[in-house]
């Protein structure tokens, strides 16, 4: 597939610069994949629409967005540097961190970036696309430092749109609204956006109707939203991201299948976490005995700033005889006539409207009964109906 096939036009002003208030007042475009029928609702109507029923299971990504964006100064020239913390490649060396950096003029190994009053980042190894491996010189770990100096890592397109509308690039509400109400495990540098629309009250109403709720974690990295630069979609290389599926979720998946219910991930990151489970991992108690958890990657070259997918995956015990799973994923789901992707845990999907030429758009197009031509037609309908797009925008439900 050529990347231009994932292109579409979005009129000016359709990028949402702020979230819906309240969260569940966001619009919801419901699409019947079999018939192509489209209906327009709001997220708070979910319990009344019959889209999820007793016995179905909603799966949410509970990763929490950290204040990963930071501003610094070059030690020698005092020039401004903007950065984004990505991850700590090796937990046994917590002072070594992978970051994205932007500055005027070329940054060089050995330079020091001043962060706040008592911290410096020594640049060690240059990667691709502005990525660096650095050594932190500070009295506290990077995540603790970011709590003091970090900023909410809103996507650049939101900050750019706000600037065009003469709005502040970052608001006081962003730290709270760019996270889901159920976020629990810090680690993401971008929000799992479909989940932003849920409130405790909405979750409670769905639960009262017998709709199940389960959790996965996929720490969203910059690679999830990185533009596809290769002309052929299949040539794009996904960045590795850490994910885990706990034993209680494996049990919920098995029980849902046993009673004939549907598994409906909320967001593409939940899809990737579930579909990244190895082929031998099925939602049943007959899982293999526990293996060792992934070893820490050895960062020895610029190409290894992201954790390698070859790290051995692992299972962990719990929830009776069920096993959870944790590991790295580079899973790339895209439409293919020759070898269509087999979805094992995705019977429907709630998702936001995604950027053109993105891996997220490709994933949605790969769903059975969708395809890129139909998906772009539905996006055209959303544009015509005035839907708000991207991270703070509205949502669609694919039945």
Averaged pLDDT for residues 165-183: 95
Please write the tens of the pLDDT for every residue from 109-120. 999 999 988 899
The answer to whether residues 344 and 390 touch, using CB atoms and an 8 Å cutoff, is no
Of 212, 257, 236, which Cα lies nearest the Cα of 59? 212
CATH superfamily of 3-65+172-398: QueA-like (3.40.1780.10)
Q: Which residues pair with 131 in a beta bridge?
A: 100
What pLDDT is recorded for position 287? 35
pLDDT of residue 312: 36
- Dist CA 332 CA 234 (whole Å): 9
pLDDT at 307 over 50: no
What was the pLDDT predicted at 332? 93
Query: 339 or 285: whose pLDDT is higher?
Result: 339
- Cα end-to-end span (Å), the chain: 25
- The confidence score (pLDDT) of residue 280 equals 67
Predicted confidence at residue 289, as pLDDT, reads 28
Q: Report which of residues 315 and 248 the model is more confident about.
A: 248
Q: Is the pLDDT of residue 283 over 90?
A: no
* Chain CA centroid to CA 230, Å: 21
Determine the CATH number of domain 69-149.
2.40.10.240
Residue 329, pLDDT score: 92
Q: How far is CA 313 from the centre of its chain?
A: 20
The pLDDT, as a whole number, for residue 291 is 26
**How confident is the model over 58-72, as a mean pLDDT?**
97
Q: What pLDDT score does 113 carry?
A: 97
Name which of 267, 221, 200, 225 is nearest 98 in CA terms. Answer: 221
Cross-sheet strand order for the sheet of 314-317 = 263-265, 57-61, 212-218, 241-245, 323-329, 314-317
Q: What is the three-state SS of 143-159?
A: HHHHHHHCECCCCHHHH
C-alpha to C-alpha distance for 190 and 144, rounded to whole angstroms: 18
Q: What is the mean pLDDT of residues 380-394?
A: 97
Residues with Cβ within 8 Å of residue 13, at least 6 apart in sequence: none
Grade residue 391 by pLDDT with cuts at 50, 70 and 90: very high
- Neighbouring-strand partners of residue 136: 121
H-only helix segments in the chain? 46-49, 142-149, 156-164, 174-177, 200-208, 247-258, 268-275, 359-365, 371-384
How many Å apart are CA 85 and CA 108, to the nearest integer?
18
Cα separation, 293 vs 326, in Å, equals 7
Predicted pLDDT at 32: 97
**CA–CA gap between residue 257 and residue 261 (Å, rounded):** 6
Residue 368 to residue 375: CA distance in whole angstroms:
11
Q: Which helix (H) or strand (E) holds 322?
A: none
Give the start-to-end residue ranges of the domains of the chain. Answer: 3-65+172-398, 69-149
**CA atoms within a 13 Å half-sphere pointing along the CA-CB vector of 76:** 8
Q: What share of the chain is helix, strand, coil (3-state, %, to 5)?
A: 25, 25, 50
As to burial, measured by CB atoms within 10 angstroms (0-12 exposed, 13-18 middle, 19+ buried), residue 391 is: buried
Question: Which among 395, 398, 390 has a CA at the least distance from the CA of 190?
Answer: 390
Nearest residue to 307 (alpha-carbon basis) of 373, 219, 203: 219
- CA separation for the pair 155, 220 (Å, rounded): 13
CA–CA separation, 368 and 348 (whole Å): 10
- Residue 371 has what pLDDT? 96
* Torsion sign over Cα 148, 154, 155, 159: negative
- 179-231: per-residue pLDDT in tens? 999 999 999 999 999 999 999 999 999 999 999 999 999 999 877 666 778 88
The radius of gyration computed from the CA coordinates of the chain, to the nearest angstrom, equals 21
**Which pLDDT does position 235 carry in this prediction?**
83
| pLDDT tens digits, one per residue of 288-303 | 322 222 333 332 223 3
Segment 229-261, tens digit of pLDDT: 888 888 888 888 999 999 999 999 999 999 999
């Amino acid at each position: 597939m050529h990347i231009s096939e994932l292109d579409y036009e979005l009129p000016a002003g359709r990028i949402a610069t702020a979230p819906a208030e309240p969260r569940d007042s966001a619009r919801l475009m419901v699409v019947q994949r079999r018939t192509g029928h489209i209906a327009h609702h709001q997220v708070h109507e979910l319990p009344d629409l019959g889209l999820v029923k007793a016995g179905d299971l909603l799966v949410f990504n509970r990763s929490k967005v950290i204040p990963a964006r930071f501003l610094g100064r070059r030690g020698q020239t005092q020039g401004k540097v903007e950065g984004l913390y990505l991850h700590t490649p090796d937990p046994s060396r917590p002072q070594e961190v992978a970051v994205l950096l932007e500055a005027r003029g070329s940054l060089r190994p050995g330079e020091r970036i001043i962060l706040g009053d008592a911290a410096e980042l020594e640049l060690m190894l240059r990667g691709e696309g502005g990525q660096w491996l650095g050594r932190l010189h500070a009295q506290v770990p990077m995540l603790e430092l970011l709590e003091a100096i970090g900023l909410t890592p809103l996507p650049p397109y939101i900050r750019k749109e706000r600037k065009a509308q003469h709005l502040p690039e970052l608001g006081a509400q962003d730290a709270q609204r760019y996270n889901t109400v159920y976020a629990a495990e810090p680690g993401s540098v971008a929000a799992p956006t479909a989940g932003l629309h849920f409130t405790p009250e909405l979750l409670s109403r769905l639960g009262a109707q017998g709709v199940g709720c389960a959790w996965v974690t996929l720490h969203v990295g910059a690679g999830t939203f990185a533009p596809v630069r290769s002309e052929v979609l299949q040539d794009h290389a996904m960045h590795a991201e850490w994910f885990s599926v706990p034993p209680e979720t494996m049990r919920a998946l098995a029980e849902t299948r046993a009673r004939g219910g549907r598994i409906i991930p909320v967001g593409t990151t939940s899809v990737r976490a579930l579909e990244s489970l190895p082929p031998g991992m099925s939602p049943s108690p007959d899982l293999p005995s526990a293996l060792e958890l992934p070893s820490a990657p050895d960062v020895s070259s610029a190409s290894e700033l992201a954790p390698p997918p070859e790290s051995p995956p692992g299972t962990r015990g719990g929830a009776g005889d069920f096993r959870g799973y944790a590991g790295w994923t580079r899973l790339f789901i895209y439409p293919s006539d020759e070898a269509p992707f087999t979805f094992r845990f995705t019977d429907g999907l709630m998702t936001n409207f995604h950027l053109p030429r993105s891996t997220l758009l490709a994933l949605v197009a790969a769903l059975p009964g969708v395809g890129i031509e139909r998906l772009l037609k539905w996006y055209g309908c959303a544009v015509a109906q005035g839907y708000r797009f991207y991270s703070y925008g509205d949502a669609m439900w694919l039945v």
